[in-house]
Amino acid sequence: MKKRLIVDDLEFEILIPEEKIQQRIRELGAQISQDYQGKVPIFVGVLNGAVLFLADLIRNLSIDCEIDFIKISSYGDARVSSGAITMIKDFSADLHGRDVIVVEDIVDSGLSVSYLRRRIESMKPASLKFVSLLVKKGCAKVPLTIDYIGFEIEDKFVIGYGLDLAQKKRELRDIYQIVEEVGKEKE
Ligand code: IMP
Ligand code: MG
């Protein structure tokens, strides 16, 4: 039986254990270091979810880098994306002429990523790529290119390793997936 967890009356089971997450991040770090040899990319973490991933990713690089953060919200505290994106905190760095790598925790509808792409492209970076630890299979409502993907997962709600349920459980070292009750899919 898989490791289980109850949060706010919802049942979760382990999906990706810590060792697998860390192993995959080592691979992504090596790949990005190779692709950006001789460059100093700026990693833009999407708050709050991507904080843990960004911290581990940059510690697995063998090149210099800078970091910055942006905070947007598409979920509020609901379990299903509201569709509307609100900017809560803008970048601090000047991204003009920079090699920008946006760091996301998870891509679901893809609306956040396409919003960020439009915004950053208007700042004329030298290059722009996206890395996401998780991508939900077949969910994107818009055409997307995610350059580096940690894991492709089913379209089910997940928590842990930065991902929250109403702002909680981000601190979990493993990623857990919701165990859907029969006949009760996403509300
Ligand atoms: P998108 O704009 O629908 O792609 O949503 C992306 C954002 O929604 C992510 O950066 C997460 O913050 C949040 N999100 C999407 N799916 C989940 C999930 O299963 N658990 C927790 N947060 C999620
Ligand atoms: Mg997020």
Report whether pLDDT(59) > 90: yes
Report whether pLDDT(13) > 80: yes
Report whether pLDDT(120) > 70: yes
Rounded percentage of the chain residues whose pLDDT exceeds 70: 91
Q: Which residues line ligand 1 (CB under 6 A)?
A: 46, 49, 74-75, 81, 104-112, 157-158, 163-164
Query: CA 124, 105, 165: angle at the middle one, nearest 5?
Result: 135
- Which residue among 48, 106, 117 has the greatest number of ligand 1 atoms within 8 angstroms of its CB, and so is best to mutate? 106
- Report the C-alpha gap between 67 and 6 in whole angstroms: 35
Q: Which ligand is nearest to the CA of 71?
A: 2
Residue 20, both tokens: 């697998």
Give the Å distances, CA to CA, from 143 to 63, 111, 185: 31, 10, 25
Report whether pLDDT(83) > 90: no
Q: pLDDT class for 76, splitting at 50, 70, 90?
A: low
Residue 162, both tokens: 């930065």
Report whether pLDDT(183) > 80: no
Q: Which ligand is nearest to the CA of 111?
A: 1
Label residue 63 exposed, middle or buried (CB < 10 Å: 0-12, 13-18, 19+): middle
Q: pLDDT class for 101, splitting at 50, 70, 90?
A: very high
- CATH number of this structure's domain 20-169, picked from the four choices 3.40.50.2020, 2.30.60.10, 3.40.190.10, 3.50.30.10: 3.40.50.2020
**Residue 105 confidence (pLDDT):** 98
Q: pLDDT class for 66, splitting at 50, 70, 90?
A: very high
- What single-letter DSSP state applies at residue 180? P
24-29, long-range: CB < 8 A, 24+ apart: 24/133, 24/150, 24/151, 25/53, 25/56, 25/57, 25/60, 25/133, 25/150, 26/60, 28/57, 28/60, 28/131, 28/148, 28/150, 29/57, 29/58, 29/59, 29/60, 29/61, 29/62
Question: Which residue is associated with the tokens 């290119």?
Answer: 145
Ligand 2 centroid from CA 108, angstroms: 10
- How many Å is the maximal CA-CA distance in the chain? 53
Mean pLDDT, residues 32-53: 98
Mean pLDDT, residues 70-80: 74
**Ramachandran quadrant class, 112 (left: phi over 0; alpha: psi -120 to 50; beta: rest):** alpha
Report whether pLDDT(68) > 70: yes
Q: pLDDT class for 169, splitting at 50, 70, 90?
A: very high
Asked if 109 contacts 82 with a C-beta cutoff of 8 angstroms, the reply is no
